[in-house]
């Protein structure tokens, strides 16, 4: 142990001093002078140690005894700490380097909402300047109200899609992840191409459907004329014309649904926001369905008279798709019930049948366009395969969603769920 050696040395020196003092006639003075000399030597060592500690970038001084040992230990732990810091720094540099090279924008925002770091892509996409904007509130720099609202709300389970302001509008998708203590990592992706292609697809479907309607109207017009007076025609012609008329009807329904779907999907559709009385809407639907199925009236269970904000026509088409499906996929004369109620923070428009039901394995795909559980059954019922896609879009356009509950052979319940605060 270094300190034991140091103590022994001190005692040895003092004893030696005492002996020399004794030789000259005063052992005490000899011991005292030696102890003082040792103290001066130690003070010198401490002073050199302190000098070095104040600027430890220099090589350590060459100290003796226990002081040499102390300085060696400090120097070693300092070197270890430096090596550790260098390793950490190179990891941080590596991570920042990989973030910097990303095509997506990456932004680190402090708990206070101020910019800490961002890569080049984020500068281009969001108009941030790094390092000039460091410490500035990010929402003040990105002047898009939805962006500020989204960050302020602190609810990041769903990504935000927004448009940038300025000459060249970009469609951006923002994903936010929290890390450390309240800091956030923003990932920003340019999805303008995706949005444009999606819009082109919608417009294409809408335009084609629209263009096909005119020739179809001419065809059905002639078919109606021929079939109005079938007496003069050979029987095989009449059968063929009837089949043509049936298929023309199907095609007309399909085009109608396609046009309706592209209207609902279109972001530019005129927002027709009104207070929609769902109870009255169901009454009107009941009248329409009674006309189609006089033997099996639609049963209504209305437990609230609340209205919701939205588009009457769209909500009517969603409810009527659900009700007509219930009739199509149920044996004759089984009860079909449409209900309207408030449950907690939700309004629920449910259509329940005791028909053929659906196996749960189909649930996730039911609202896809043209998805059918059973092709043969659907073509018998004359469905277009677009009904539930329309329902889903109407629900989403009204801030709600569609819930599906069904058991094969027992029946189904389709429920449109809307938040009660809309
Ligand atoms: P379709 O025009 O074929 O009815 P939908 O999109 O309305 O298209 O429905 C998709 C599929 O979901 C249907 O083909 C049918 O198999 C199934 N389906 C919809 N509603 C019901 C229901 N009430 N009961 C049983 N199956 C249903």
pLDDT at 422 over 60: no
Residues 6+ positions from 408 with CB-CB distance below 8 Å:
356, 357, 358, 359
Q: Which residue has the higher pLDDT, 142 or 383?
A: 142
**Domain extent for 139:** 102-190
Q: With beta carbons less than 8 A apart as the criterion, state whether 414 and 338 touch.
A: no
Residue where a domain terminates, one of 190, 210, 233: 190
Residues 227 and 352 in one domain: no
Ligand 1: does its nearest atom lie under 6 Å from the Cβ of 17? no
At residue 376 the predicted structure's pLDDT band, cuts being 50, 70 and 90, is low
* pLDDT given for residue 89 in this prediction: 92
Asked whether residue 237 is assigned to any structural domain, the reply reads: yes
On whether residue 33 sits in a domain, the answer given is yes
Do residues 297 and 388 both lie within one domain?
Answer: yes
State whether 337 and 208 are in the same domain: no
Is 95 inside a domain boundary? no
Q: Are residues 136 and 48 in the same domain?
A: no
Q: What is the mean pLDDT of residues 270-276?
A: 74
Mean pLDDT across the stretch 404-409?
95
pLDDT average, residue stretch 382-395: 90
Q: How far is the CA of 368 from the centre of ligand 1 (A)?
A: 11
What is the DSSP code (8-state) at residue 234? -
248 assigned to some structural domain: yes
pLDDT at res. 97? 85
| Average predicted confidence (pLDDT) for the chain | 89
Residues 164-172 have a mean pLDDT of 84
Is the predicted pLDDT of residue 268 greater than 80, yes or no? no
Å from CA of 65 to ligand 1 middle:
92
Query: Residue 49 has what pLDDT?
Result: 84
Are 186 and 198 within one domain?
no
Asked if 279 and 406 sit in the same domain, the reply is yes
Give yes or no: residues 111 and 28 share one domain: no
Q: Are residues 206 and 308 both part of a single domain? A: no
Q: What is the mean pLDDT of residues 404-420?
A: 95
- The ligand 1 atom at the shortest distance from the C-alpha of residue 356 is 25
The answer on 420 and 275 residing in a single domain is yes
pLDDT value at 322 more than 70: yes
pLDDT tens-digit readout, 233-245: 888 889 999 999 9
Claim to verify: residue 250 and residue 232 sit in the same structural domain? yes
216 lies in the same domain as 310: no
Model pLDDT, residue 267: 54
Query: φ, ψ for residue 347 (rounded to 5)?
Result: -100, 140
Beta pairing partners, 348: 341, 417
Distance CA 119, CA 136 (A): 16
Q: Provide the domain count of the chain.
A: 4
pTM of the complete model beyond 0.85? no
Q: Residue 380's pLDDT band (boundaries 50, 70, 90)?
A: low
CATH of the domain at 214: 1.10.287.130
Digit-coded pLDDT (tens) for 122-133: 999 998 998 899
Ligand 1 centroid to Cα of residue 295, in Å, is 22
Query: Which tokens hold the place of 103?
Result: 């095509």
Residues 182 and 218 reside in one and the same domain:
no
**pLDDT of 269 strictly over 70:** no
pLDDT over 90 for what percent of the chain? 55
Q: Is 141 exposed, middle or buried (0-12, 13-18, 19+ CB in 10 A)?
A: middle
Residue 254 lies in a domain: yes
């Amino acid at each position: 142990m270094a300190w034991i050696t140091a103590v022994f040395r001190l005692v040895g020196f003092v004893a030696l001093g005492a002996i020399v003092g004794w030789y000259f006639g005063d052992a005490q003075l000899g011991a005292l002078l030696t102890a003082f000399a040792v103290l001066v030597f130690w003070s010198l060592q401490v002073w050199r140690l302190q000098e070095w500690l104040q600027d430890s970038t220099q090589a350590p001084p060459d100290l003796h005894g226990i002081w040499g040992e102390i300085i060696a230990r400090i120097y070693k732990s300092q070197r270890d700490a430096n090596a550790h810091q260098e390793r950490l720094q190179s990891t941080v540099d590596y991570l920042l380097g990989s973030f910097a090279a990303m095509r997506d924008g990456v932004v680190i925002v402090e708990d206070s909402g101020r910019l800490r770091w961002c890569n080049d892509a984020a500068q281009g996409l969001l108009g941030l300047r790094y390092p000039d904007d460091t410490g500035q509130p990010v929402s003040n720099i990105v002047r898009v109200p939805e962006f500020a609202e989204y960050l302020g709300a602190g609810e990041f389970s769903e990504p935000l899609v927004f448009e940038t302001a300025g000459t060249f509008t970009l469609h951006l998708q923002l994903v936010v992840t929290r890390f450390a203590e309240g800091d956030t990592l923003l990932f920003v992706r340019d999805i303008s191409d995706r949005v444009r292609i999606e819009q082109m697809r919608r417009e294409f479907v809408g335009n084609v459907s629209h263009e096909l309607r005119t020739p179809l109207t001419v065809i059905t017009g002639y078919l109606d004329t021929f079939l109005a007076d079938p007496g003069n025609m050979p029987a095989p012609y009449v059968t063929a014309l009837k089949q043509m008329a049936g298929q023309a009807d199907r095609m007309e329904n399909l085009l109608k649904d396609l046009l309706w779907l592209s209207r609902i999907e279109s972001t530019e559709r005129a927002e027709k926001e009104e207070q929609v009385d769902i109870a009255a809407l169901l009454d009107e639907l009941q009248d329409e369905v009674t006309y189609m199925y006089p033997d099996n009236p639609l049963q209504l269970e209305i437990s609230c008279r609340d209205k919701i904000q939205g588009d009457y026509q769209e909500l009517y088409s969603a409810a009527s798709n659900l009700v007509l499906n219930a009739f199509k996929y149920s044996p004759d004369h089984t009860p079909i019930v449409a209900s309207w109620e408030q449950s907690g923070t939700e309004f629920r428009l449910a259509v329940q049948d005791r028909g053929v039901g659906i196996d749960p394995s189909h649930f996730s795909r039911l609202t896809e366009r043209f998805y059918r559980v059973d092709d043969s059954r659907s073509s018998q019922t004359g469905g277009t395969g677009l009904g539930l896609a329309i329902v889903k879009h109407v629900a989403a356009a009204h801030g709600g969603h569609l819930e599906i509950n069904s058991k094969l052979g027992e029946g189904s319940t389709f429920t449109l769920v809307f938040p009660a605060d809309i």
